[in-house]
Structure 1
Amino acid sequence: MKINSNTKIIGSKTILVPYREYHVPNRYHNWMQSEELQQLTASQPLSLDEEYDMQKSWREDEDTSMIGDTNIFMTDKDNSIGEIEIMIAEKSALGKRFGWESVIIMMLYGIKFVNIKIFEAKISYSNVVSINMFKKLGFVEKSRSDMFEEITFHKIVTEDWVEWLDQQIRWEIENC
């Protein structure tokens, strides 16, 4: 994340910022105490100290891009395959297309600045909202894991798809 540690991505509904230490107690740690979010994101609750350690590792990990609660984890040595994750934790923000815009902004950033060629998304069987969103984004099912109760979707980046993504949202990049 060091390469984009001061990057702010601005959409029409959302602003994605680097995950800072002050986000841990004020938002993130509280969100991740929710059993529903733990199930939907296949996460385990962490202590506050463990959450601070996680935030620090994300900030210092050169292979991870984290902006707010939208992430791309690079899964190959060439940084051409990225696992995209999105979590909207605030109940009042659900159903307002913040996740849609955030994931598109993050993917466009990954395509244009990291040179990602393929995206993958691992989604819990029970997370119907995310499954439907990624299908609308053009992702197709690659595999299923009954053990982890998740579906792996993937999307190969094409010029036509990038143009379509660009038409979905307005965005810009700033240093913060």
Structure 2
Amino acid sequence: MNQLTPAHCSLQRESKSNPAMEAPEAAVAAAAPAVDGEDRRGPKGSWYAVGERAVLVPYLREHVPRYHEWMQDPALLEATASEPLSLAQEFEVHRSWTLDPLKHTFIVLDKELIEGEFASGNPHTEAMVGDVNIYMNDPDDLEIAEIEIMIAEQKSRGKGLGQEVILMMMAFAVDKYRTHTFRAKISESNNASLKLFRKLSFKDASYSSAFKEVTLEASAAELPLSSPLTIGTW
């Protein structure tokens, strides 16, 4: 099951000048501006969430190199309706997302890939396989959230991770943002994602012929949000 819906976010990493760095490390350092603690977490605070197969962690600057690699893949760019960005642009996008109170983004960790035990504060870049996002972008009702998910790593697709991550994110949104309705906007050609959201009780709400995109909606009260979920402070 290829869970892919539009999602493109990015991160920051501390910049240090070191001529002994290898080329990839030097490129990351050059692209990433220095940030303070508030930039790292965002004024809205940071949490993590633990499920049965997945862990959701905040975007950290340590994640950006791998995320940037994902978004060089033409198939992922097409599936997520994204444009390729430079590493420096990824850092700038992350900063704006981190500080925006109407957006919340998590990196998805595959528990099977975590080395040792999961620890809050550890980015666990070895286990990152995608991202999940919500946007409170309805000016008439900020308790309506658009949700997007991307499982970028092929090895973590087809085993139910995407479904669990969506349920985790929605349970988190209900708990932290009092979200009562969720929306998903999905390309009409993305059959895997359409099937996934419809399986989770999302109903077709509208269709955009201009964007060839289906909008699905679901009431939080009707969703199966009883999956085990532990929410902690990062």
Q: TM-score, normalised by structure 1?
A: 0.91
Name the residue aligned to 2:59. Answer: 19
Check 1:133–1:4 CA distance in 2 against 1; reply closer, same or farther (3 A cut): farther
Question: Following TM superposition, by how much is the alpha carbon of 1:165 offset from its aligned partner in structure 2, in angstroms?
Answer: 2.1
The 5-angstrom pairing of residues 76-95 of structure 1 reads 76-77=138-139, 78-95=141-158
Is it true that 1:165 corresponds to 2:233 in the alignment? no
Amino acid at match of 1:23: H
Q: What TM-score, normalized to structure 2? A: 0.69
Q: Return 5+ residue gaps in structure 2 as ranges.
A: 1-41, 108-130
Q: Quote the Cα distance in structure 2 between the aligned partners of 1:94 and 1:147.
A: 30
- The one-letter code sitting in structure 2 at the alignment partner of 1:110 is A
Deviation at 1:8, TM superposition (A): 0.6
Q: CA separation in 2, counterparts of 1:121 and 1:2?
A: 26
**TM-superposed deviation, 1:4:** 3.5
Contact 2:44 2:99 (8 Å CA) reproduced: no
| Mapped contact 1:9–1:16 kept (Cα < 8 A) | yes
* Aligned partner (choices 175, 189, 197) of residue 112 of structure 1: 175
2:232 is matched with: 174
| Pick aligned residue for 1:136 from 192, 199, 212 | 199
Q: Aligned letter for 1:13?
A: R
Aligned CA RMSD, in angstroms, stands at 1.3
Quick check: 1:79–1:115 contact (8 Å CA) kept in 2?
no
Q: Which deviations, in whole Å up to 9, do the C-alpha atoms of 1:72-106 show, x marking residues without a partner?
A: 00023442110000000001111011111111100
More helix by share: 1
**Matched pairs, number:** 169
Matched, 1:101 2:140: no
- Secondary structure, counterpart of 1:87 in structure 2: strand
Query: Where does structure 1 differ by over 3 angstroms across 4 or more consecutive aligned residues?
Result: none
Instruction: Give the letter aligned to residue 66 of structure 1.
Output: T
Q: Contact 1:8–1:174 (CA<8 Å) still a contact in 2?
A: yes
Helix, strand or coil for the counterpart of 1:108?
Answer: helix
Larger radius of gyration: 2
